[in-house]
Structure 1
Amino acid sequence: MKDLTWKKLSSTYVHKGPWATLRQDKCEMPDGRIVEDYFVLEYPNWVNAVAITEENKVLMVRQYRHAAGIVSLEIPGGVIDGDEAPEHAVRRELLEETGYEFDKVEFIGSVYPNPSTANNITYGYLATGGKKVTGQSLDEHEELIVEEYTIEEVKQLLLDHKIPQALHCTALFYALIKLGVL
């Protein structure tokens, strides 16, 4: 099989920020052609979870997403802090955003949000046996509403295109397949 990998010849940072970093690479393609200016967004890795309570309700969060200018219905999740393990990060995010702890948290897959321009990975989990143990503990610029849905309602929300975040749709489809309801 032909090697399609590019060789990175040099990198320069255009911008470094807490949530996103922009890098400019010079690369050589396998056939020797040079790509002078390939821009890469460096983001931290993310986690998200399809979170199901003891009552078999799916927890979802509704929040404003400024880049798209929308109020978005999503599954809980967020950024992995430093070298934090993804499973620890997802449990932390679930507790912070929903106030729920879960008996079982199972890895269901990972995806690259946009491997053509960004370098990060999103790890998806299925969390089951959720119990409300505390209130929310949100980040400074986070404001979200926790909502509960049946699995059938979530399937209908997907069919009706009411969940706009692609990575969350992916995790929901993985989880529904794992649960044997899709």
Structure 2
Amino acid sequence: MTTNSIESDKQLSVEQRDELLNTLKARFEKNKGCHPNLEWVNVEARLEAHPDKLWSLHEMEKTGGEPDLVELHSEKGEYIFVDCSTESPKGRRSVCYDQAALDARKENKPKHSAVQMCIEMGIELLSESQYRELQQLGNFDMKTSSWVLTPDKIRQRGGAIFCDLRYDTVFMYHNGAESYYAGRGFRGLLRV
């Protein structure tokens, strides 16, 4: 496969682009409290100037993430989109943590890993602190859980961390990185 064919795979049709922009605009308007000082026209102009970012947002939407613009800390003037689905995105569940964990698993392998899916989608895995910031905007993962970026010292020992919300409290847990469950996925972040 050539570079040009890979890039053309990451292009949206006019219909896909328009549908995605309409979905994002409706979500933006519905959740104006998350970004009170921003105007959609400026966000849309930035998105249209970065078709690769639109493609990533389309992937987030397609896998059930319901990405929305949130104001996480950013000194660079970037628009930050995060998966805001109530539960961990359906199209990204039953995955282990990373490729090394997937490769290490001998039987009953999941189809994918969270870190590799992020790379393929052009997004970042939420860190624990970003996950906690997201929880300030609503109640997420009350029935599911989400892998979060795992510190190297934990990952080098075979572990990975994930978070969820129970009893009005965000909990962080650990598990073997090769584990996967129907109720565990991951949330991503996109900087535009």
- State the TM-score bracket (shorter-chain normalisation): under 0.3
- Structure 1 or 2: larger strand share? 1
Answer with 1 or 2: which has the greater Rg: 1
- Structure 1 or 2: larger helix share? 2
What is the TM-score normalised by the length of structure 1? 0.25
What is the TM-score normalised by the length of structure 2? 0.24
